[in-house]
Amino acid sequence: MTTGAKPQFPIVDALLFIPPETASGHIGVCTNTTAPGQVFNDIAEENRSAISVLGPLIVSRDGTERMILNSLVHPTITYLILFSEESLTFSPSTNLLLALMHGLDAKRGGNYIANGQAASAHFPNLSRDIVDLFREHIIVLPLFMSQNKNSAAVVSEYLEWLGDRVPPNILWFLKETNAKGKKYYDSLNALITLLKAAPHRKKVPVELDPKDFQHLQPPKIAIAEDTTPYPVPFRVSLEDNLLRLDIRVGDSLYFIRGDDDFRIEYSLMKFLGKRKALLTPHEQLLIGAELNRLNVERRAGLAAPPFAESNDVQGTQEILLEPKVALVPDQQYYYKIGLKDAEVSVMCMAFDICEEVFDLRSTGAGGIFAWLAEKNRFQAYEMDMLHRMDVGGQIGRALIAGRFGYSFIQDFPSIFKINRETLPLLIAESDSFLDVHRGMLLKTYTQGLTEEHGDARKGLSRSAVTLAIYRDAVNAFARMPSIYKQGDVSTEEMRSAYKKQLLRLDHDGDYSYGQRTRVHFGFDQLERTADVLSKDPSRAAIIQRFDPTVDMDSTLNPDTKRREYTHDPCLTHDIFFIADGTLHSFHIARAHNLPNAYPENLFGLYDAYVSSVRGKLSLASGDLYMLSSRGNILLLSEEQRVRKIIAEPSKPMGDVERTSGPTLLGANVRKEVPCVGVLYATELLKDVPLYSHPIIDRFRNFEGVDILERAVSYLVERGGSHNNPVLTTYQAGTSDPQADHLVFYQANVFGGKVYATAVFANHEPSPADDLKLASAVATVYATRLEKPLAEANIFYINGAV
């Protein structure tokens, strides 16, 4: 790496707010968990000229790495202010200070930060030289708040370390302000004023070697489009709706047929063995491309121009499909294929961090195929032909998706359209955790509603109402798969730690799940649930964590004069029910981050709550249901994680018992009697004015609080797509946990329309009456938010001996 050149900013993708009128400022602001635009709006007009860029920071790994790289290459930034409140899970601002003081731990691999805090305290994608260069060129100024108990001591140590790197008045200000604990916009403006007045050195631009951060952003290579069909010794066609490949290999003519393009490629590779050398790398790439082109035409009805020149090759000897596929991956090279900026992107990656990597970009595939064939970056091993065919197929499918306005996922056999209109109900079931999670992510990623998250700083999200069903829970949760491992912490250690969190009796911030479950309402709900179920196993029993009398609230901060909102439990309720001597459970989340928080949440619920109640009752293990009323994937930060899990092989579902449900209800559905277990219906909401009903009356006077007004006012004030407001008729300690209750009701705006989710317990389904009730409440939301009505998903959980 060198200095003196003027590199492009940003050098790696990031969610940045760049005020066009202040791009030459010498101060950057890391806004941590606050939206950059919100912070900029509170910077005084006279201070804005000094600010060049603002951006959020959620994680140490990846997030901080991108901030370091972009700060280094920015042409004017010399100061970086760490502001707002850092995320508790990762403590990225605290970890950055530790990295600047103590560097990376030389005794550990993976670029772990010496004395790092919280989760993922490492910079795996950066070289030590880049961290040293950042320390030399950028002065980091801490002005953030943290719930990490060690953060204050780290900041104090850092300010001593900072010493004469900053003027004495600025160092004094930082020490005085950080000693107070609370740092708000007045402090930020005061610090900017001091920095504006202080002399600052001219930034020396830094030119970085792409090898040093290749896994974050490989260098781009523009490839000219070449639409000329390439001559090949094969042709593809459809025969009885099966894919057929006719191919000449040397002097022999073969054909192979099948439904799955990958199995055809695998079988061809196994059959040819060493004779694969008779086909050039270019021809092998095109076999995959042509099979995928025809597969897309067969599945989606999209006819794309061929990549290969047409011919009349006719096979005479059939190659039979292999009954089993046993993949051996390439140990040297791998490829990431996608669509970016209206072009096909082919990232040519290497496991050896010293080897060059590239991001090939083109509007066509012909030039990319020629480049890949010439470079031939594939390990020479038994399955290199299969790797080439697979890469060629992925590229061909990506190009077709881009041309027809579809979306593409690497290793997913179909292309799909982006849903920007409706919030779907998606159901995934299996008897292994990974199989359910993988299926749910795949469905949400390909069918979920895409729009900006209610919390704008998080960028685009893909959302759905998701119902995950873990059959035979004791086996589904027997082991946490290694793909969920975080750093050096084993999955067993993760499970143990999260179980303790869900059982703890105290809390560090506004709440903990354990404290809400076992203390908040004046008694241990786990003990009470086991007790009531042992006395009456015929009715479901409710556990509550969301408290409408204290949650979905806001207060005015006397220091900042800004309104601050409560941090409310996402895992709101558990419902336990017994059927045929087996304990089943139904858990509800008002909002759920599906790729990351989800595995810990589910294993924690099973280990801490389900196992506890089942153990006290000595019952057989049944099914575990997880209803995520508003499940989401954050595309900016989680898309690669989702694709990785989707591509992970999982055990297919075996023969399972489905007597617990879910049972569909509807006018055109045969009714089953009795209505036990989990039942559900999806219906269009109707415009219904409020009317006299015990549940509506309960909402209007819930323990002395009008929670319907509270919920609607929250959304009017903060934004209709926020997920915090929840209504219920149940209050632990004052309500009977086995009575007829509307346990959970949530309504908010997605796709410009109001959607509702309702969960009843111990309630005889009356679809017409229940829809009328759900519609009447939703109409209040729709009227106040000035949005049309959409759908309601209504669930019923009923026990039976």
Find out whether 585 and 744 touch, Cβ atoms under 8 Å. Answer: no
Find out whether 30 and 81 touch, Cβ atoms under 8 Å. Answer: yes
- The single-letter code of the amino acid at 138 is I
Residues pairing with 304 in the sheet? none
The reported pLDDT for the residue numbered 6 is 54
Say what percent of the chain tops pLDDT 70.
94
Of 216-230, 410-424, 531-545, where does the model show the most confidence? 531-545
407/393 Cα distance (integer angstroms) = 15
The reported pLDDT for the residue numbered 369 is 97
**In the predicted structure, residue 2 carries a pLDDT above the cut 60:** no
Find out whether 223 and 360 touch, Cβ atoms under 8 Å. Answer: yes
Query: Could you report the per-residue pLDDT of 95-138, keeping only the tens digit for each?
Result: 999 999 999 888 877 788 998 887 778 887 788 889 999 999 99
- What count of residues does the chain have? 801
Higher pLDDT, 275 or 487: 275
β pairing state of 677-684 and 789-798: antiparallel
Q: Among 24-28, 292-296, 418-422, 646-650, where is mean pLDDT lowest?
A: 646-650
Q: What is the mean pLDDT of residues 353-382?
A: 92
Q: What is the mean pLDDT of residues 428-451?
A: 92
For 291, the 3-state DSSP assignment is: helix
User: Residue 4: which pLDDT band, with cuts at 50, 70 and 90?
Assistant: very low
Q: What is the mean pLDDT of residues 668-680?
A: 76
Mean pLDDT (the chain, rounded): 90
Query: Could you report the per-residue pLDDT of 313-355, keeping only the tens digit for each?
Result: 999 999 999 988 877 888 999 898 999 888 999 989 887 766 7
290/247 Cα distance (integer angstroms) = 12
Higher pLDDT, 220 or 422: 422
Say what percent of the chain tops pLDDT 90.
63
Both structure tokens of 662: 């879910």
Q: What is the mean pLDDT of residues 770-784?
A: 98
Q: What is the 3-state secondary structure (H, E, C) of 56-87?
A: ECCCHHHHHHHHHHHHHHCCCCCEEEEEEECC
The full set of domain ranges for the chain reads: 2-213, 234-403, 425-798
End-to-end CA distance of the chain: 71
The reported pLDDT for the residue numbered 801 is 36
Question: What is the DSSP-derived secondary structure letter of residue 304?
Answer: -
- Measured CA angle at 170 (ends 168, 174), to 5 deg: 115
User: Residue 215: which pLDDT band, with cuts at 50, 70 and 90?
Assistant: low
497/593 Cα distance (integer angstroms) = 19
- The single-letter code of the amino acid at 375 is K
Find out whether 758 and 747 touch, Cβ atoms under 8 Å. Answer: no
1/745 Cα distance (integer angstroms) = 57
CATH topology of domain 425-798: Thymidylate Synthase; Chain A (3.30.572)
Cβ burial, residue 569 (10 Å; 0-12/13-18/19+): buried
The reported pLDDT for the residue numbered 60 is 65
Quote the radius of gyration of the chain (alpha carbons, Å).
29
**In the predicted structure, residue 1 carries a pLDDT above the cut 60:** no
**In the predicted structure, residue 799 carries a pLDDT above the cut 80:** no
The reported pLDDT for the residue numbered 407 is 84
**In the predicted structure, residue 565 carries a pLDDT above the cut 60:** yes
Q: Among 8-17, 74-83, 177-186, where is mean pLDDT lowest?
A: 8-17
The reported pLDDT for the residue numbered 292 is 94
H-helix segments, 242-383:
261-272, 281-300, 366-375
573/569 Cα distance (integer angstroms) = 10
39/35 Cα distance (integer angstroms) = 7
| CA distances, 218 to each of 123, 215, 337, 354 (Å) | 17, 6, 13, 13
The reported pLDDT for the residue numbered 7 is 59
Query: Could you report the per-residue pLDDT of 695-718, keeping only the tens digit for each?
Result: 999 999 999 999 999 999 999 999
Q: What is the mean pLDDT of residues 372-380?
A: 96
Query: Could you report the per-residue pLDDT of 744-768, keeping only the tens digit for each?
Result: 999 999 999 999 999 999 999 998 9
Question: What is the DSSP-derived secondary structure letter of residue 640?
Answer: H
Query: Could you report the per-residue pLDDT of 500-537, keeping only the tens digit for each?
Result: 989 998 877 667 899 999 999 999 999 999 999 999 99
Of 37-46, 191-200, 412-421, where does the model show the most confidence? 191-200
31/297 Cα distance (integer angstroms) = 47
Both structure tokens of 723: 């997920």
User: Residue 15: which pLDDT band, with cuts at 50, 70 and 90?
Assistant: confident
User: Residue 463: which pLDDT band, with cuts at 50, 70 and 90?
Assistant: very high
Q: What is the mean pLDDT of residues 566-581?
A: 93
User: Residue 690: which pLDDT band, with cuts at 50, 70 and 90?
Assistant: very high
Query: Could you report the per-residue pLDDT of 596-614, keeping only the tens digit for each?
Result: 889 999 999 999 999 999 9
